[in-house]
Chains A and B, each alone.
Chain A
Amino acid sequence: MTAATFTSPLPQVTKEWTLSFLGGFDPSALIVLSLSIIAGVIWTWRALDPSMPLRIRLSIAALRTFALLLAFAMLLQPTLRLRASTFNPARVAVLLDGSGSMRRGVDGPRLDKAIAMASRMGEDLKRRGSAVEWYCFTDELQAISDPKGAAGCAFESRGTDLRTAIAKTVANENRVTPLSALVVLSDGADTTMATGNRESDLSGWASTIGAPINTIAVTGASARRDIAVAEARTDRIAFTRTPTSILVSLSAVGANGESVEVHLLRDGAVVRRGNCEIVDGAGRLTFSFTPISIGEHVLEVALSPTHQDEIPENDRTFLSLSALRDKYRVLHLAGRPSWDQRFLRGTLKDWPKMDLVSFYVLRSELQSETHGSSGMVLIPFPTEELFASHLPEFDVVIVQDLDLVAVGIDQYLPRISEFVQQGGGLVYIVGPAGLPPTISADEAMHAILPFVPLPVGAATVAFETAAFRPQILPNGRNHPLLALAQDTSETQQVWQSLPQLEGLARVARLAPTALALAGHPSLFVEDGPAPLFTVRDVAQGRSLAITTPSLWRWGFSGPMTGGPSHAYSGFWHRAIAWLTKDASLDRLKLLVAPNPAKMGGTAVIEVEVLDEAYQPIATAPVEIAVTWTNSDKSRGVHEVKQSTDGQGKYRFEWMPTIPGPHKLTVVAPSQNMQSQSEFLVLPSSEEVQHLEPRTELLEALAKDSGGTFQQDTAQMGKLAGLADSRNRVVSSRDLSLWSHPVTILLLLAVLGAEWLLRRRSGLW
């Protein structure tokens, strides 16, 4: 806040003497003292010889009486006090609301009316001798020299904050004398207090200010009918598949009792509709929104397009949330109970972020026919329900030792392929019998598996049962799937301490674009070592194949014999994160800060490019495009073509030109990678959502602080606190009469005179 300029007439100094007694006796003590003096005088008279001349006796008695009275007076400690004081006129702070809403109005800017009223008020206050401080405020406070200064009141404004403006005015340290009163000229369109909650927000606060707040509502002619989306709030962090609440507040003029349709939109498409009834100029509505995908979600809350009012700019607002994955939904299909299936199940079930649905085939059709189903609790494999209806609800499907064709799922293989290509994750784990022969003939599975199966009737042994210690292949050295420890050397140590695996299914070769991360140390396929872990990016999804059924030994045999205890669970946690494209494992990382960005500020956009082995790529070309929709519905774009630095990063600052949702697209052509994100640019001010006057807030302020409320008029006689002119003591000086030397000399003189008279009269 800048220093206030005070205007004040020259002070007139007045002096005043007052007599006061500092003895501090209470009335009973005074009565006792008085009676003692009277008794002393009587006793003195009676003690004198009656034969003495009357003149002598009267003189002695008078001197004694005078001495006693003088002593009594000294006990009372009489003091003369000289007070010099000045006359202080009332000190009044006048605050003019210079926010955006005040610069609007159906019949001209409200601020013009406020300035005119304040100018008249200023002259009147001057005539009364009041000292006036002038301020202009929005969500900040600025001292001005006169009311007209409010018109040019220029600072970055994000809204209107009445409480802060008043508190800062009262706390002005440049002021010597306290304020007698405040006068606030505003439309009350505060942006910091929720619509409909203002009275409770202010409860008790205004009474602590210490001076009456006189509020003058400057409203002018209002819009005949306007409904605004005053606010839309939600938690910044949400979780996928978990409903989150979006609280919408509407403010309205001329629409009481109306029901208005409100839409929640994403990418321009309505995702929720709701009706909100306007009561006392406000309405509230809660939307439930369930993010499906992880990442930034920019949402729009808007009144139905059919709605029409006089201020359409405030009919919508934006908000953004960041959706994290709360749980991984995994479908675990196993062709038979096995230790590999059991430990995988145990690990997934022990993971709090896991929502696991399992179907295990416990017996074959032949067994079913041979032994019947008496006393059993087996349910038929719900193939149609799972694959025709519920497959898209899962993040990852694990197919373990299951011959999909044999259990009648072959008709749904295209669905599984489509699931992966549209962003799902697939884990394929072979069983003790190796790959089922039927897989070799299935084209849908070929499209998503990271390996090409051996052809039916191939001469190669399809399943090697011997134990082996797998080796990490070059593509696996930095891959997060195999990062069993913090760094690569530690990972290598952990890898060496893992127990041997048993059994490896042979494949023909890797599928196109697939990577082998680990393999057999001595067996080979067409294009390299016989793979143990193979991964593949398949359109939007990913697949992972594990060609041994003994990985469970990492979870049990290893820890039993002193090996690493978290290698197995850690592997599966990373595998699920990688398959579901957890942002922390992305190879093309995007960052926008701050998010949401704000108009008038800069947003930092950072891109990081990693290779398939998760090493930073230096000098990798990146093409970055920020896109948005302009107010005229045209498409805005800001494009950057640059290369990454030695850390594989490129960052730049960008200043948004329009508030609203923005999309960020980054392409790393050398890596054939593309990534998208979205972010919100907030308007620099929330004023547009709070354009209509709110007089109830101003009324509440005045009432709580002991001030008065007026609307569109400023009658000086009604303003509280202006008559409170105060005398301020400038100096004060005390003259103690009881301890003055003259008083003491006088007492000694009286006592001496009595003593002398007594001596001359022959007494004592």
Chain B
Amino acid sequence: MQANGAFDPPVLCATNTRRGFLRAAALGLLGAAWPGKRAKASSSGLEVDLPQIAYAGGNWQPYPTAMRRLAWELHKRTLVNTALEPSEIKPTAAMLSRTPLAFLCGDRGFTRFSAEAVEALSRFVRLGGTLVIDSATTPDGEARAFDRCADELLASVLGETPLTPIASSHVLYRTFYRIDRPMGRIEGPAFMEGAEKDGRLCVIRSRHDLGGALAKDNLGNWLAEVIPGGERQREQAFRLGINIVLYALCLDYKNEEPHRRFSNSAQ
């Protein structure tokens, strides 16, 4: 990260193996050099962008096509005016101010965020932004290392606000599709976690490798196998992704009385 014209030395969050440390350090050194060149944000607030946060010292984009795929499905299935080419953003106040929804993905440990980045993310979630964190389970990745780094980052960003399991009755699971349990490329835990501010989920944390279920390669083939549920589970993952975006946009809309009435009668 750049501060006062000089690079901060990359500080790694918890990595419990020497190999992991060396790899993260190397990635950190590399990563410190590039974000200014590659990161870009959607120039228009008229579209709903699904940007991924580009960070240093890890793999911020384990599935490069996942967000594009989700954007396309949103465009196809809903009236959300989606930006079909999701952007990349650095965790700065200026870039985070462009869009109130951001995805933080990864499959390994990453360099500790600078104080400015933590402050920017903290303002982001406090002022109405939604931060979605997805742990990827790539073959050469270390999802646990990513989880530890993400935990450490969230502790700084959220302060006293705890991360707790999102109840299956939460409106997030009813905001467009009815979802019984969260699923991504893997079945994962029966719940996602979230942090609330003013009654709104400002952080949604998935340990289900959601991006892995959405991504396709350049030839249009699914990039990763979905286990154990196969294509049916992949559809569930898409539905979860769509619900997350719709929740960020509509908040507790589906909790209003007419919708609750309908939801109850449909059950």
Q: Contact string, A304-340, partner B, CB cutoff 8 A, digits 1/0?
A: 0000000000000000000000000000000111110
Q: Contact check: which of B80, B123, B128 meets A336 at CB < 8 Å?
A: B80
Chain A residues with CB below 8 A from B124, complex form: 560
Q: Which residues of A contact B38 (CB under 8 A)?
A: none
Using a Cβ–Cβ cut-off of 8 Å, how many residues does chain B contribute to the interface with A? 47
Contact: A559 with B266, CB < 8 Å? Answer: no
Contact partner of B127 (CB less than 8 A), chosen from A335, A350, A375, A560, is A560
Residues of A within 8 A of B259 (CB): 377, 379
Specify which of A350, A359, A432, A499 is in contact with B46 (CB 8 Å cutoff).
A432
Task: Render A238-269 as a binary contact track against B, CB cut-off 8 A, 1 for contact.
Answer: 00000000000000000000000000000000
Q: CA separation between A465 and B93, bound complex, in Å?
A: 24
**CB-CB nearest in chain B for A371:** B77
Interface-centre pick from A341, A346, A361 (highest chain B CB count, 10 A): A346
B223-244 interface bits toward A, Cβ cutoff 8 Å, 1 = contact, 0 = none: 0000000000000000100000
Q: Tell me the smallest distance from the CB of A316 to a CB of chain B, in Å.
A: 41
With contact pairs A367-B79, A549-B46, A550-B46 given, residues A556 and B248 touching in the complex (Cβ less than 8 Å): no
Which residues of the other chain, B, contact A382 by a CB distance below 8 angstroms?
A: 258
Q: Mark A544-558, 1 if CB is under 8 A from B, else 0.
A: 000001101101110
Shortest CB distance B252–A (Å): 8
Query: Which of B44, B78, B123, B262 is the one whose CB lies under 8 Å from A560?
Result: B123
Task: Report yes or no: B128 in contact with A377, Cβ–Cβ below 8 A.
Answer: no
Asked if B77 contacts A553 (CB within 8 A), the reply is no
- Chain A residues bordering chain B, tally (CB within 8 A): 47
With contacts A336-B80, A379-B259 taken as known, whether A557 is within 8 angstroms of B246 at the C-beta atoms is no
Question: Are A550 and B78 touching (Cβ within 8 A)?
Answer: no
Q: Does B140 contact A (CB under 8 A)?
A: no
Question: 4 additional contacts, CB 8 Å, given A556-B127, A560-B93?
Answer: A338-B80, A343-B128, A362-B79, A565-B127
**Minimum CB distance partner of B198 in chain A:** A350
B77 contacts across to A, CB distance below 8 A: 363, 367, 371
CB of B47 within 8 Å of the partner chain: yes
Q: Which residues of B in the span 86-136 have a Cβ within 8 Å of any Cβ on A?
A: 93-94, 96-100, 120, 123-124, 127-129
Residues of chain A lying within 8 A (CB to CB) of residue B178: 375-377
Within 8 A of B (CB), among A357-392: 357-364, 367, 371, 375-379, 382
Taking a contact as CB atoms under 8 Å apart, the answer to whether A367 and B128 are in contact is no
* Chain B residue with the shortest CB-CB distance to A559: B127
Assess whether B250 is in contact with A556, with CB atoms less than 8 Å apart: no
The CA-CA distance from A764 to B199 in the complex, in Å, is: 115
A377, B251: Cβ atoms closer than 8 Å:
no
Contact B47 A432 (CB under 8 A): yes
- Asked if B249 and A342 make an inter-chain contact with CB atoms under 8 angstroms apart, the answer reads yes
Does chain A have a CB within 8 A of B45? yes
The answer, yes or no, to whether A502 is at the interface (CB within 8 Å) is yes
Are B48 and A337 in touch, CB under 8 angstroms?
A: yes
Residues of B within 8 A of A549 (CB): 46
A355, B88: Cα distance in complex, Å = 38
Contacts of B48 in A (CB 8 A): 337-339
| A358, A360, A377, A559, most chain B CB atoms within 10 A | A377
Asked whether B177 is an interface residue with its Cβ less than 8 Å from the other chain, the reply is yes
Contact indicator per residue, chain B 249-267, by CB within 8 Å of chain A (1) or not (0): 1111110111100110010
